[in-house]
Structure 1
Amino acid sequence: MSVLSTGTGALIAFQRALSTVSHNVANVNTEGYSRQRAEFATRSPTDYGYGYVGNGVKITDIQRIADQLATSRLLDSGGELARLQQLSGLSNRVDALFSDTATNVSGLWSSFFDSVSALSSNAAGTAERQDMLAQAGALATRFRQLDGQLQALDGEVNSGLVAGAQEINRLAAEIARINGTIGGNLAGASPDLLDRRDQLVSELVGYTGGTAVTQDGGMLNVFTAGGQPLVVGNQPSTLTTTADPYRPQRLQLALSSQGTTVPLDQRSLGGRMGGLAEFRATMLDPAMAELGRVAVTMADTFNASHRAGMDLYGDMGVDFFTLPAPRVNAHAGNASGASLQASVADAGAITGQDLVLRFDGTGWTATRADTGVAVPLSGTGTAADPLVAGGIALVTSTAPPPVAGDRFLLQPTAAAAAGIAVAISDPSRIAAASPVSGSADLDNTGSGVLGAIKVVDAADAALLDDAVIEFLDAGQFTIDGAGPFAFAPGQTISANGWSVTLDGAPAAGDQFRIVRTGPRSGNNGNAALLANLDDARVLNGGTISLNGALGGLTTMVGSAARQAQYSADAQQVIHDDAQAARDSISGVNLDEEAANMLKLQQAYQAAAQIISTADTMFQSILNAVR
């Protein structure tokens, strides 16, 4: 009977071990599966007086082969990879918008300034004027289209946050349920259940980043990259989305617990959610702001020069482009209903960076929204003395007035590209001519030569008044009888909002007349200036041209997208290495399993032979006493 019992026990043990090997082979492609191993041990021997006789073998445990360190490393690398892949994927889409010739601004930008150049060659031409308006409209449309695509991406981020919060809550609830099932008996937990929990934790960390910590008893606590608890024991947290306090149309993640909702620090998130937040902060917002800055400075510079010209009706030029005012949003928690009215004070000083304005009850301060660094702020906020920060003037409301603690978000250029449009529709309203022109009297005897006239102050009330420059001798002149003024060849003479360079050696009695340009003039003075505005250095204190700013925008977006791609590629290598390290311990090796199966099969057959031998022995005894 002891031989039969030993053989039967061995047969059952080897059968269960073979089942474990089969289970490993069947799950060779199951993601997150950890191979299992049957642990053998001898049965308790029997004392027959002369000594102990063994009773065979038994299965003591089905062990899950896993290494916590390798699993933690894989979790960390997986969360970071999810963040970088999310960031890279969205950044590449923005890069495609700015680099593709079918969607970028550069082509239509060049076409517009080419049309202005063509107009300068035929300032009175109807076809040239109509083409310039058409090209301007196409350029403004492209600005709006690009901004609309960026706004659509912002909407996708909102949708991603909502969907992500729902998936995070589902995963956290499932992990908490498994924790409850395991309770305080980790040793008694099914290996497959532990694999399932690890896989869920991996998916959860892929959304939020963070870590998983095992507590006493085997429960697993999961925390976000910022340290916020997602699962503690068998209690899951709930993530939701709330409106940004400055921009209600923009969502952000928040943690809901015990009836309170606490917004999470979006900068500390990891995983896919962190990638969405980082994309919005480091790629989308800067791209929208810089696109708006290019639109603002181009339109403002072009408008200023266009107002200094004269149209075919003989009237001074008006704004060629229209732009929306800079956007100022009050914080949702402001105690007052005060508002700020913003306008562009100096387009060349605009940086495009969002600013937070705070009122302490007596004065205002300004800081950058992204870094918190203080920004110079002047003025008191009245209409006569507006607040000025970063080239933007702000006037505070008086009914109601701001109170201590009020905060406002200033976005100088974020909405500019969305609202740019062509202000005129009549081709004859294009101010291609200089408003004044100069000529030398035919009776002049000297060699004085009048250069091109420039308008330096289009708002001067006397700009269009006729003026006479008369020389008393080679070194003195008067303007409409005022003077005399000293003269040297090559000198710039200014009056009534215009300036002109006079060279040569005028003689006594020589006169030069400055007169208003008449209607339907073919004068191209202002068109020639407009055609070269794309090279005007008007940004960053006169150090960057409009063309340079447009090229810089494309380069900035492309560089950020490439950097995100490089980081994602590098992290993929790190993650693959972590995955290989985990698989080397926990993964199923078919060659190893095949060898184990062959060994166990032979052992099973040997155990069966033991049972057969025991049966023969038993039959021999029966035959002896029958």
Structure 2
Amino acid sequence: MSLLSQIAYSGLRAAQIGLSTTGQNIANVNTPGFSRLTPNLVSLGGQGGPNVGGGVEVSGIRRIANDFQNRQLWRATTEQSYYSGSQQYLTALEGLMSGEGSSISVGLDRFFAALSEASPTPGSIALRQQVLAEAGNLAQRFNGLSSNLDAQLSALQEQRQTMVNEMNGLSRNIAELNRQIVEAQSVGGDTSALRDHRESLVKDLSRYAGVRVNESADGGLTVAFDSGQPLVAGSTAAQLSVSTNAAGEQVVELAFAGTRFPLDLSGIGGSLGGIQDVEFGQLRPKMQALHEMAGQMAQMVNDILVTGFDLAGNPGQPLFTYDPTSNTRLLSLNNLKPEQLAFSDTTGESGNNKVLLQLLDVRTRTVTVNGSQVGLNDAYTGLLGQVASASRQNQADLKSATTVVEQAQAQRDSTSAVSLDEEGVNLMTYQQAYQANMKVISTANELFDAMLAAF
């Protein structure tokens, strides 16, 4: 009778653990990153002689997680974050450059239209005033667009600093969890919740950059960039820092185990790599292109005007001043009065428009922008087209990457996430097992009482 009770008590204990495990799963059905648990049951053998066995034992609680699926999800998250990080700036840049109020093409059209209107009557003060007004508006368009690009660049650099700070915090937390997991695992403690938390942190880290992850025999994780630089090794975390060089560009350095070296952000992936590529693939080249357009246009206009004469017969003066050191006032209008515009190529002829006609020809001249020779009016259209094309392609890539993330998440959840239907079945199964084992115990007790009553 004692053997029957022993077997039943072991089944009762296993059913209790199964019920508790199911309860834990159900309680965490909405917990992000939670991996469901299941008890490992093993049959116990009997001791000596013919026997039916010794019942059941729970050898451990298994955490249902698939390392390959987790890595797939992390890689997909890195890819999605790269395009997502890029798109916010590409969308803003495209909207800014295509806006009616900031378009350089519109400003050039209006400036040359004002010159064209003045060409039949170059001595008209009103038409000359209109030329000055449109020239000022054109300069303001250059300055406004350049200022907005500079503001975007500053926002991007602030975001990079924030990302680096976040990565440092995540790396430290992963290192601390490594320490806790190694300690708990060494004494046979439960590490399931710690591992769930650690995997969630690795996923968060993968949003900023592509990472490689390897687990050692003691349970600690080694995390490194795809390029090989270490981020976490055991309980030691790297420290990232951001500084600014003489060119105004940010430099990210990595310090690990007493060694400090610059980090190449090209191809690093994630949102950190996304904003890096936007900065040096879009923002800085477009700002440089604006400088090149403004400087060359101002030079062409000024070179023509200084060859002419104003209404008073005085030699012509430059109309624009270009400042290559400024991103907020790269182009300014000189303080000229309408009558000081030198439209004539001969002194004393107010109706002479020879120089003015030369100014109109500037519209068809070519300028060098980002190493290519293009027409002045086509230069800006080409820049806008580049941004629009990059934005459309990035949006398509982001859509594809989002689909991949959703698929990777679904695959991970199909293995590790809690299914209420499945847990409901488990709950009934363990409950029935518990009740059945209680019945076995009751039967064993009745048989034992009956045996005692026989004497």
TM category, shorter? over 0.9
Map of 1:610-621 to 2, 5 A cutoff?
610-621=440-451
Residue 569 (structure 1) aligned with residue 399 (structure 2): yes
Map of 1:39-438 to 2, 5 A cutoff?
39-47=40-48, 49=49, 51-183=50-182, 185=185, 188-244=189-245, 246-247=246-247, 249-257=248-256, 260-325=259-324, 415=326, 418-433=329-344, 435-436=345-346
> What TM-score do the two structures reach when normalised by structure 2?
0.92
For 1:277, give the aligned amino acid: Q
**What is the CA-CA distance between 1:211 and the residue it aligns to?**
1.0
For 2:160, give the aligned amino acid: L
* 1:224-262 Cα distance to aligned partner (Å, 9 max, x none): 132110001111111111222x32x43221112455532
Instruction: Tell me if the contact between 1:75 and 1:211 (Cα under 8 Å) persists in the aligned partners.
Output: no
CA distance 1:319–1:561, change in 2 (3 Å): same
Matches of 1:623 and 1:127 in 2, distance apart? 127
Counterpart for residue 454 of structure 1: none
Residue 595 (structure 1) aligned with residue 417 (structure 2): no
Instruction: Tell me if the contact between 2:292 and 2:368 (Cα under 8 Å) persists in the aligned partners.
Output: no
Matches of 2:68 and 2:424 in 1, distance apart? 28
**What is the CA-CA distance between 1:84 and the residue it aligns to?**
1.8
Matches of 1:115 and 1:136 in 2, distance apart? 9
**What is the CA-CA distance between 1:27 and the residue it aligns to?**
2.2
* 1:598-621 Cα distance to aligned partner (Å, 9 max, x none): 222222221222233233334434
Instruction: Tell me if the contact between 1:287 and 1:557 (Cα under 8 Å) persists in the aligned partners.
Output: no
For 1:142, give the aligned amino acid: R
CA distance 1:528–1:577, change in 2 (3 Å): same
Q: Matched residue of 1:208: which SS?
A: coil
Q: Matched residue of 2:208: which SS?
A: helix
Counterpart for residue 608 of structure 1: 438
CA distance 1:430–1:278, change in 2 (3 Å): same
Going by fraction, where is strand more abundant, 1 or 2? 1
For 2:51, give the aligned amino acid: Y
Q: For structure 2, which runs of at least 5 residues remain unmatched after alignment?
A: none
* 1:68-87 Cα distance to aligned partner (Å, 9 max, x none): 22211221221122122101
Matches of 1:229 and 1:279 in 2, distance apart? 25
Matches of 1:31 and 1:259 in 2, distance apart? 36
Instruction: Tell me if the contact between 1:122 and 1:522 (Cα under 8 Å) persists in the aligned partners.
Output: yes
CA distance 1:136–1:610, change in 2 (3 Å): same
Matches of 1:554 and 1:623 in 2, distance apart? 100
Aligned match of 2:359 in 530, 533, 537? 530
Matches of 2:163 and 2:35 in 1, distance apart? 27
Residue 23 (structure 1) aligned with residue 24 (structure 2): yes
**What is the CA-CA distance between 1:91 and the residue it aligns to?**
1.5
Instruction: Tell me if the contact between 1:95 and 1:557 (Cα under 8 Å) persists in the aligned partners.
Output: yes
Counterpart for residue 5 of structure 1: 6
CA distance 1:618–1:52, change in 2 (3 Å): closer
Matches of 1:106 and 1:620 in 2, distance apart? 104
Matches of 1:193 and 1:243 in 2, distance apart? 38
**Alpha-carbon RMSD:** 2.3
Q: Matched residue of 2:243: which SS?
A: strand
Q: Percent of aligned pairs with the same residue?
A: 32
Residue 554 (structure 1) aligned with residue 403 (structure 2): no
* 1:312-347 Cα distance to aligned partner (Å, 9 max, x none): 12123221111124x5xxxxxxxxxxxxxxxxxxxx
Q: Matched residue of 1:46: which SS?
A: coil
**What is the CA-CA distance between 1:105 and the residue it aligns to?**
2.5
Matches of 2:335 and 2:295 in 1, distance apart? 17
* 1:110-135 Cα distance to aligned partner (Å, 9 max, x none): 22222222221321112211122122
Instruction: Tell me if the contact between 2:291 and 2:330 (Cα under 8 Å) persists in the aligned partners.
Output: no
Instruction: Tell me if the contact between 2:101 and 2:141 (Cα under 8 Å) persists in the aligned partners.
Output: no
Q: Matched residue of 1:213: which SS?
A: strand
For 2:237, give the aligned amino acid: P
Matches of 1:137 and 1:45 in 2, distance apart? 99
Instruction: Tell me if the contact between 1:242 and 1:263 (Cα under 8 Å) persists in the aligned partners.
Output: no
Matches of 1:602 and 1:321 in 2, distance apart? 90
Q: Matched residue of 1:313: which SS?
A: coil
Residue 38 (structure 1) aligned with residue 63 (structure 2): no
CA distance 1:107–1:623, change in 2 (3 Å): farther
**What is the CA-CA distance between 1:212 and the residue it aligns to?**
0.8
Matches of 1:175 and 1:276 in 2, distance apart? 25
Instruction: Tell me if the contact between 1:154 and 1:280 (Cα under 8 Å) persists in the aligned partners.
Output: yes
Instruction: Tell me if the contact between 2:3 and 2:54 (Cα under 8 Å) persists in the aligned partners.
Output: yes
Matches of 1:595 and 1:223 in 2, distance apart? 42
> What TM-score do the two structures reach when normalised by structure 1?
0.68
Instruction: Tell me if the contact between 2:8 and 2:440 (Cα under 8 Å) persists in the aligned partners.
Output: yes
* 1:248-295 Cα distance to aligned partner (Å, 9 max, x none): x43221112455532111214222211221111111111111122221
Instruction: Tell me if the contact between 2:319 and 2:336 (Cα under 8 Å) persists in the aligned partners.
Output: no
Q: Matched residue of 1:207: which SS?
A: coil
Q: For structure 1, which runs of at least 5 residues remain unmatched after alignment?
A: 328-414, 437-516
Counterpart for residue 479 of structure 1: none
Instruction: Tell me if the contact between 1:120 and 1:531 (Cα under 8 Å) persists in the aligned partners.
Output: no
**What is the CA-CA distance between 1:197 and the residue it aligns to?**
0.9
* 1:563-609 Cα distance to aligned partner (Å, 9 max, x none): 22222222222222222222222222232222222222222221222
**What is the CA-CA distance between 1:562 and the residue it aligns to?**
1.8
**What is the CA-CA distance between 1:37 and the residue it aligns to?**
1.3
Instruction: Tell me if the contact between 2:174 and 2:198 (Cα under 8 Å) persists in the aligned partners.
Output: yes
Q: Matched residue of 1:591: which SS?
A: helix
CA distance 1:623–1:542, change in 2 (3 Å): closer
Instruction: Tell me if the contact between 1:297 and 1:546 (Cα under 8 Å) persists in the aligned partners.
Output: no
CA distance 1:201–1:538, change in 2 (3 Å): closer
CA distance 1:189–1:418, change in 2 (3 Å): farther
Matches of 1:145 and 1:196 in 2, distance apart? 47
Instruction: Tell me if the contact between 1:323 and 1:420 (Cα under 8 Å) persists in the aligned partners.
Output: yes
Q: Matched residue of 1:52: which SS?
A: coil
Instruction: Tell me if the contact between 2:322 and 2:330 (Cα under 8 Å) persists in the aligned partners.
Output: yes
For 2:365, give the aligned amino acid: A
Matches of 2:415 and 2:224 in 1, distance apart? 26
